[in-house]
Amino acid sequence: MFEQLEKIEKRYEELEHLLASYGTVSDKEQYNRYAKELSDMKDSVSLFQEYKRIAKEIEDLKRTLGEKHEREFLALAKTELQDLENKKADLEQKLENILAGEDKDSGRDVIVEIRQGTGGLEAGLFAADLYRMYTKYAARKSWNVESMSAHANELGGFKEVAFSVKGKDAYKRLGFESGVHRVQRVPTTEAQGRIHTSTATVAVLIEPEEVDLVIDPKDLRIDTYRSSGPGGQHMQKSDSAVRITHLPTGTVATCQDERSQLKNKNKAMRILRARLLDMKQQEEFKKISQERKSQIGSGDRSEKIRTYNFPDRRVTDHRINLTSHKLEAILEGDLDELSDALIKATENKTKK
């Protein structure tokens, strides 16, 4: 482990020198790549340097204990040694977790996209329920939520809705929500009281920073069109809606929620960047080992992860076989029971 950490520290120092050189600064794309690599290493290098500092203190203190001193001094030194040993063990565990693949993105902000799946209008209503659940959870956590785009259906549900979430541990707790969510209930549109099954798909995307992804403006086609909003005096008379297409991948992002074309363009660009980074991560995910694929929250968007059963008032997460009978509380944003269990299950798998 320490040989690997020494290599990481050496590369970190090398990157610091590269970023300070004139040639790198003049090449923006290369500069961004190096800055991203340096940023990814920062936490592990800081922990390793702290580990080495404490190890040196322990070594010096043991040497002192081997010398002749008053009994009271030796007692204090032994207490201090025990504290340092505990800190060293804690740092060693953290370093092992990082090298074992602990998610370096756990503290990142996210963009959440919810789309109706099978079930028609009822699926759209379920998508709206999930949107409400996540925004209420964000309020409990004091996270900041910003609406990005929304396409409603005639019953008030969502064909698609996207929003950003910023705050401490937003990705760590919401990252497990990606996948297919299934609901079993009697729809409001069902006259005979039969239980229907509908689905909605959730994608939790990391919101990229500038160094995460470099997009060539030549690869973008930006179209404007008239928003399909309410009629009458509020009817849009200008082409404020924006559609951005990434030509190499065919990825499209649209936004029409704002009256300002510039605001719509900025939001559409944020969504596009998040989708492109997610595509890149999904490609990397396919290349990694089968052992890593078996971990909780693999990221497979087609995976059925959870069922919300209204007749039995239960919620079941199929990845960890956890069933909670707090359906109403969960839909009101009380997601900690599920997210805590998923985080713990992931940590346990990482240690094996």
CATH number at residue 323: 3.30.70.1660
Rounded to the nearest integer, the mean pLDDT of the chain is 83
Q: What is the pLDDT of residues 231-252, one digit of tens each?
A: 333 444 567 889 999 999 999 9
Among 173-187, 278-292, 325-339, which stretch is predicted with the lowest mean pLDDT? Answer: 278-292
The CA distance from 196 to 138, in Å, is: 29
pLDDT: which is higher, 176 or 214: 176
Query: Looking at 254, 286, 318, which one is the last position of a domain?
Result: 286
Do 43 and 68 belong to one domain?
yes
Do 321 and 270 belong to one domain?
no
Query: Looking at 286, 303, 322, which one is the last position of a domain?
Result: 286
Do 162 and 238 belong to one domain?
no
The whole-number average pLDDT for the span 200-219 is 82
Q: What is the pLDDT of residues 286-311, one digit of tens each?
A: 654 443 444 444 445 567 999 999 99
Q: Is residue 104 part of a domain?
A: no
Do 60 and 177 belong to one domain?
no
Q: How far is CA 301 from CA 66, 279, 289, 330, 340, in A?
A: 60, 11, 18, 22, 21
Q: Is residue 212 part of a domain?
A: no
Nearest to 161 by CA among 187, 198, 132, 189: 132
Tokens at 287, concatenated: 């290349």
Q: Is residue 105 part of a domain?
A: no
Q: Which pLDDT score, from 0 to 100, does residue 181 have?
A: 96
Do 203 and 318 belong to one domain?
yes
The CA distance from 257 to 124, in Å, is: 18
The CA distance from 259 to 262, in Å, is: 9
Do 83 and 131 belong to one domain?
no
The whole-number average pLDDT for the span 42-67 is 88
Do 261 and 138 belong to one domain?
no
Total tally of structural domains belonging to the chain: 3
Is the pLDDT score of 103 beyond 80? Answer: no
Asked whether the beta carbons of 206 and 113 are under 8 A apart, the reply is no
219 DSSP 8-state letter: G
Q: Which pLDDT score, from 0 to 100, does residue 293 have?
A: 45
Query: Looking at 99, 120, 152, which one is the last position of a domain?
Result: 99
Q: Which domain holds residue 13?
A: 2-99
Q: What is the pLDDT of residues 260-290, one digit of tens each?
A: 889 999 899 999 989 998 888 777 656 544 4
Q: Is residue 58 part of a domain?
A: yes
Q: Which pLDDT score, from 0 to 100, does residue 329 have?
A: 96
Q: What is the CA radius of gyration of the chain?
A: 25
Is the pLDDT score of 229 beyond 70? Answer: no
Do 167 and 202 belong to one domain?
yes
Do 262 and 236 belong to one domain?
yes
The CA distance from 136 to 152, in Å, is: 19
